[in-house]
Structure 1
Amino acid sequence: MGLAAATSERERRDLVTREVMDESRLIRFVAGPDGAVVPDLARKLPGRGLWVAADRASVSTAAAKGLFARAAKAPLKAAPDLADQIERLLVRRCLDQLGLARREGALISGFEKSAAAIRGGQAAWVIEASDGAADGRGKILALAARQPRPPEVCGAFTVEDLGLALGLENAIHSVLLAGGRADRWTQEVGRLAGFRPLRPQDWRQAGSSDRPDAATESGPAGAFDGRGSVS
């Protein structure tokens, strides 16, 4: 399952490149009452939408070059840290989705339960804490890579992040089961991939046991390849 499975099927024009693309690949902004550029990640705020590709470089370019004001034909001001704001908002949305998934029974945690779900072909996503032990992570990722349809992988959150979201003390290994919640998660984390790597760089600098996914490490820096890999 890739990002295409969760697309919104509506297209908008990116302010920076002028390319028309699906809403799932864009961030919506609106003009605030004080003339500030306001991110609208849920796409629900009133007002004319201003759309920018969901990646740090595009948002920074739009802010630096005054493209929001030009598109709105109004004196809008974008905060210098707008891209950082969006990253924080996307992180919160992704973690909230995981919390909902656990309450719905669509997310399981723990090494043995995660491994069983992967073996059973139920896993849409393997979610590993970025600061978890390399040995356990390597075993889980190796198991995932051996499946006929390998699940996607995310390592964008710490043990503390996941613990708070899931209400667990030691949230290191988790699996998001295939289904509607996983589709929504795919869309959210796909946007997050434009602002932070989905796999920490030091995972690739560890030993060979932590590199079962090496075959996915190609393409431009920071690109989300549809399998949870950031190249």
Structure 2
Amino acid sequence: MSRGGGKRHAETNGPERKCIATGEVRPVAELVRFVVSPDGQIVPDILGKLPGRGIWVQAYREAIDLAARKNLFSRAAKQPVQVPEGLAAEVEAQIARRVVDLISLARKSGRAVGGYEKVKSWLQLEEAEVLVQASDGSGRGKSKLSTPHYGSYIGWLTADELGMAFGRQSTIHGALASGGLTTRVVEEAQRLKMLRMEKTAARAAGKDKRAS
């Protein structure tokens, strides 16, 4: 079986915000919210629940780095603020933990399974809405499973991260049923993809440059 059938997600009709780095108005699902802490620090608000006026940046490392470098957080906050070193990396780490935690909760409620055979069974029985595979897993092994028709594919977690979600040392294959937390998992995984695809592209470009 070859992977395919991944659906395109239409842009949400939900709330939108303007990115302070790019100036684009985008759905909040594609942005990261930041707030100013009482001591004047810029803090990522991954869950969107921290008090204070939200400052929004697209979920790209380049956009977050630009906002920090150009002092755009202070401009948006209308006050001097401190931006911690490695802010983009911290955002990525927090979103990755969020995706892991959500998959773990789905597993505990019976809405997610891990392991090749279980995932294969769910796909054959059409119980799976989302196929999840480790970014560092074998391409040959991953190609044996297909994304559910009209379903979604998540491939931005490492085997170790996916293992944490399923209570194992490492996991290559996972699947989520429809309903429950699945929509939230897909949304958070999309933000993680936006952050990690940039790094993947940069590594590929570096390899190409060294090879030339």
Fold conserved (TM > 0.5)? yes
**1:165 Cα deviation from its structure 2 partner:** 2.2
Cα distance in 2 for residues equivalent to 1:8 and 1:99: 28
Query: Counterpart amino acid of 1:197?
Result: M
C-alpha distance 181-3 of structure 1, shift in aligned 2 (>3 A): farther
CA contact (8 A) 1:3 1:186 kept: no
Residue from 99, 106, 110 that aligns with 2:111: 106
Cα distance in 2 for residues equivalent to 1:112 and 1:184: 25
Paired residue for 2:54? 49
Cα distance in 1 for residues equivalent to 2:45 and 2:13: 15
Cα distance in 1 for residues equivalent to 2:169 and 2:33: 35
CA contact (8 A) 1:55 1:193 kept: no
Paired residue for 2:28? 23
Residue from 36, 45, 50 that aligns with 1:40: 45
Query: Counterpart amino acid of 1:73?
Result: K
Cα distance in 2 for residues equivalent to 1:155 and 1:74: 39
CA contact (8 A) 2:106 2:180 kept: no
C-alpha distance 104-84 of structure 1, shift in aligned 2 (>3 A): same
| CA deviation map 1:68-111 (0-9, x unaligned) | 10011100121231100100000000000110010011101222
Paired residue for 1:186? 186
Q: Structure 1 length normalisation: TM-score?
A: 0.76
CA contact (8 A) 1:106 1:177 kept: yes
C-alpha distance 63-27 of structure 1, shift in aligned 2 (>3 A): same
Cα distance in 2 for residues equivalent to 1:80 and 1:159: 27
Equivalent residues, number: 196
Cα distance in 1 for residues equivalent to 2:171 and 2:91: 25
Q: Is there any run of 5+ residues in structure 2 with no aligned partner, and where?
A: 1-6, 205-212
Cα distance in 2 for residues equivalent to 1:110 and 1:48: 43
Cα distance in 2 for residues equivalent to 1:82 and 1:62: 10
Cα distance in 1 for residues equivalent to 2:178 and 2:161: 22
Paired residue for 2:3? none
Q: Is there any run of 5+ residues in structure 1 with no aligned partner, and where?
A: 206-231
Cα distance in 2 for residues equivalent to 1:91 and 1:12: 22
Residue from 106, 124, 133 that aligns with 1:128: 133
Q: Structure 2 length normalisation: TM-score?
A: 0.82
Matches within 5 A, 1:212-227: none
RMSD: 2.5
Cα distance in 2 for residues equivalent to 1:13 and 1:156: 26
CA contact (8 A) 1:3 1:187 kept: no
- Percent of counterpart pairs with the same letter? 37
**1:31 Cα deviation from its structure 2 partner:** 0.6
Residue from 88, 95, 99 that aligns with 1:94: 99
Matched, 1:159 2:164: no
C-alpha distance 90-3 of structure 1, shift in aligned 2 (>3 A): farther
C-alpha distance 29-58 of structure 1, shift in aligned 2 (>3 A): same
